[in-house]
Amino acid sequence: MNDSNILDIPIIYSELLIRSKEIEFRMPSDIYIGTLLKSLITSKPNSNLLELGTGIGLSLAWMLDGMDKESKITTIDNDPKLTEIAIDYFGEDERVKIVCADGSEWIKNYNGEKFDLIFADAWPGKYSEIDEILDLIKVGGFYVIDDMLARPNWPENHQENVNNLVAYLESRHDFNLTKMNWSTGIILATKSNDGNKGFH
């Protein structure tokens, strides 16, 4: 099996990559997390989805490709330059709400419907407001994070943040975890029905 033979790349993806280079956006989500998100989202018709860290919209393009017409997604970034670009590309899709806001503030103020899948690709909802974000996931819903494998450009002490986050997720009895040394290092966590990780 050749896992890089990904055949269903979103049509808009190459244009977004060119735009990323033009504006020197250095944090693009890769096609591996993209294809995983698309597959997961396809399992959730009529879903309510959340992305923290819109960036230039690379992962958003994949997520939209996995969504049916009845599903909706809210995506948040605190950089207006990036949300404007995302609005240019995706603003006409009625399923998308692009919000320019600080993710921490947004999470703390949100009191709407819970989510079928959250892709947390910014500091908030990952290294801060973790309990709040996990509470916002429906039973059977997914919490997805990437960038868990060490990189040479990580700031000093970031490994400790990652270790703490992994340990915390492992300690939660209401989530089943799959840790993948694939892409940039992915954790897929699914909220369980009964708060138990299973019978042993």
Q: Which residues of the shown chain bind ligand SAM in the complex (CB under 6 A)?
A: 27-29, 53, 55-59, 76-79, 82, 102-104, 121-124
Rounded least distance, CB 167 to ligand SAM, Å? 22
Q: Which is nearer to ligand SAM, 79 or 132 (CB)?
A: 79
Q: Which is nearer to ligand SAM, 110 or 174 (CB)?
A: 110
Alpha helix locations (H) across 23-175? 31-42, 58-66, 80-90, 103-109, 130-135, 158-171
Rounded least distance, CB 49 to ligand SAM, Å? 13
| 129 CB neighbour count, 10 Å cutoff | 21
**Residues in Cβ contact with 56 at an 8 Å cutoff, skipping those fewer than 6 apart:** 16, 19, 20, 23, 25, 28, 82, 85, 86
Rounded least distance, CB 62 to ligand SAM, Å? 8
Longest alpha-carbon distance in the chain: 53
Q: Which is nearer to ligand SAM, 53 or 185 (CB)?
A: 53
Q: Which is nearer to ligand SAM, 56 or 189 (CB)?
A: 56
**Chain residue whose CB lies nearest ligand SAM:** 55
Q: Is 198 helix (H, G, I), strand (E, B) or coil?
A: coil
Q: Is 168 helix (H, G, I), strand (E, B) or coil?
A: helix
Rounded least distance, CB 85 to ligand SAM, Å? 10
